[in-house]
Each structure stands twice: as structure tokens, then as C-alpha cells.
Amino acid sequence: MTAGYLLQLLANGLVIGAFYALLAMGLSLIFGVLEIVNFAHGEFYMLGAVGGLLLINRLHFDYWTTIASVTVMGACVGWLFHRVLLRGLAGRSFERSLLLTLGLGMVLQNGALYVFTATPQIVRTEFGVSSVLLGDVRFSVVRLLALAWAAVGFIGLYALLYRTRIGQAMRAVAENREAALIVGIRPERVARLAVVVGIALCGLSGAALAPVYVVTPTMGLIFAFKSFAIVVIGGFGSIGGAAITAIALGVIEALVGGTVSLVLADAVAFMAMIVVLLLRPLGLFGTGVRV
């Protein structure tokens, strides 16, 4: 095994980890603010990829417009999702929101299977398969751009949460719901924004990764599976914890997959989750008391 190969694995792991992070952060944000675990999260990511596929292959949009439009569409879908389905559930039982989002996920996934069939499809961007050489590591252009989009997503989310009043309100609700209500934060506005941002990040991730991999209606499952494990490992509702865990997991998976076996790579997330639950049930970055 050469150093170049190792670096290549690391780089691939970093890209996938960055997107695990975007999804897991959205999931964590929605859980923190609404106390709802969005089991349809992976399917929204799939919809983003399908959106990218349709815009580029059918409507011949260029790469940049596509990603921007899919992200905006994701935000609109998030608004609708909150307005129609989640709003009525505020403060109701955990199981109801779980089954509702699970049912929605099934509708989306199987609806997509019915319309597009299970055949994997390739997104043909204007960059084709061209690649650049950075040191010893060869990056395809779309992969490098995906990494840049992930960075945009990170910076955007960070700026929203730490540099705006509404972002501060979101963190306040996630940290202590009652206290946030007492100081006059309107929970519904904050909840709506959390869902909009979370689903917009799904759209961005789907559209940015669609040209890197292939698009199939079942692609959301594996990402959802990893994001849930990441949220448990990082600690429920801890957005920073989700980000760090996600990137670490992406890199570890790539290394294990490239050197040992792919089956083991998929199992890493699960094993890490069980170990963390046994040793540190609140998650690596979790704080506060058990609920």
C-alpha cells in the first residue's frame, strides 16, 4: 500500500464525511428544536439527488444553477413539510412524529421507485469525468466541487446559528425549551426555520453528491443509517458533536473499506454507536441530563 493510496482514501473519506455531517447536523437541529427525529431525512437527501438529476439531464441546467435551485427547492419542501405535517405535532408524543416521518419516508422512497425504477442513473454535468491532481491525490472535479459545497453549507449553518438573532433563538430552544419560552422566543417560528434549514441541507447534499455517485431511489437509506448513528454517537441535539463525529466516521469508513473490507466499513458506524451507548450513553459530546 502506497502513501498515495492512503491519501486518496483519506480524501474520499473527508468528502463523504463532510456530507454525513451536513445531514446529521440538520437531523440534530430538527431534533434539538422540535424534539422530532426525522426518519424521512435520508429520503429528502434522495429527492435532492433526483432533483439534480432531472435538472441537469432532462432540463439541461448548468451545474451551478442546479445546485442553487435544488437547495432553494429543499427549503420550500422543508417549509411545506413543517406547515402540513409537523406543525400539528408540536409537543405531542414522540412515537407519533416517528411514525409520521417514517410513513412519509416510505411514500417518498417507493413513489420514487415507482416513477424512476430501481435502475441507477448517472448525472452528466458539464465537467464530465475530468479530474485534477493535487499532490499525489487525484480528485474528480465534481468531487472537489462537492467538498466546496459542503464547506459552503458548514459556513452558512455556522453563520446562521452564531451570527444571527434567530439562530441564537434556535440554539436557545434546543438548549432549554421552557426558558426560551419564558424570554419570549416564539417556538413556531424557530421550529419552522430549523426544518427549512435541515431540509435545504438535504437538498444541497443530494444535488452536490449526485454527480459524484449514481442516483437511485434507495440511496437515502444508507445515508440515513449513518446519520442516525452519528447523532447517537455525537450526542442527541449536539450540532457540533454531529459534525466532528461525521467527518471522523467518513474517514474511518474509507480507511477500513479500502484496507480491510467494505462490509466492515458499513458496520463501523453501528459498532461505534453501541460502544458509545454502553460507555457514554449521552454521546461523546452530549451534555446535560438524560431524558
Partner 1 sequence: MRRVALAVGLVALYALPLAGPSEYWMTIAATACAFAVLSQGLNLVYGYGGLMSLAQVTFWGLGGYTSALLAKDLGWNPWATLPVAGAVAALAGVGVGYASLRLSRHSFAIVSLVAALLVQLVARDWQGLTRGPLGIPGLPALRIGAVVFDSATRFYWPMLTFALVALAVMWRVMRSRIGLMLLAIRQNEPLAGSHGIDALAHRLLAIGLSAVLSGIAGGMFVFLLTIVDPSILDFYYTESMLIMVIIGGPGSFWGVTLAAVAFTVVPELLRLTSELRMVLYGVVLVGAMIGLPAGIGGLIARRREKQWRARLA
Note whether 290 binds partner 1 by CB under 8 A.
yes
Residue corresponding to grid cell 484496507? 259
The single residue among 59, 60, 62, 110 that binds partner 1, judged by CB under 8 A, is 110
For 26, 84, 136, 188, 242, the CA distances from 283, given in Å and listed in that order, are 17, 32, 36, 28, 10
- Cα(203)–Cα(190) distance, integer angstroms: 20
The single residue among 4, 120, 281, 288 that binds partner 1, judged by CB under 8 A, is 281
Write down the least CB distance from residue 187 to partner 1, Å: 19
The single residue among 95, 119, 165, 182 that binds partner 1, judged by CB under 8 A, is 95
Note whether 213 binds partner 1 by CB under 8 A.
no
- Cα(280)–Cα(194) distance, integer angstroms: 27
DSSP assignment letter at 286: -
Take residue 93 and report the three cell numbers written for it.
Answer: 408524543
What are the backbone dihedrals phi and psi of residue 286, each rounded to the nearest 5 degrees, phi first? Answer: -75, 150
The single residue among 76, 113, 181, 260 that binds partner 1, judged by CB under 8 A, is 113
Contact string 226-265 vs partner 1 (x = CB under 8 A):
--xx-xx---x-------------------------xx--
Write down the least CB distance from residue 126 to partner 1, Å: 33
Q: How many separate helices (H) and strands (E) can be counted in the chain?
A: 11, 2
The single residue among 14, 221, 244, 255 that binds partner 1, judged by CB under 8 A, is 221
What are the backbone dihedrals phi and psi of residue 119, each rounded to the nearest 5 degrees, phi first? Answer: -65, 125
Note whether 37 binds partner 1 by CB under 8 A.
yes
Note whether 224 binds partner 1 by CB under 8 A.
yes
Torsion sign over Cα 104, 105, 109, 110? negative
Nearer CB in complex with partner 1: 194/224: 224
DSSP class per residue in 63-81:
HHHHHHHHHHHHHHHHHHH
Binding site residues, partner 1, CB under 8 A: 37, 39, 85, 88, 93-100, 102-107, 109-111, 113-114, 221-222, 224-225, 228-229, 231-232, 236, 262-263, 266-267, 269-270, 273-274, 277-278, 281-282, 290-291
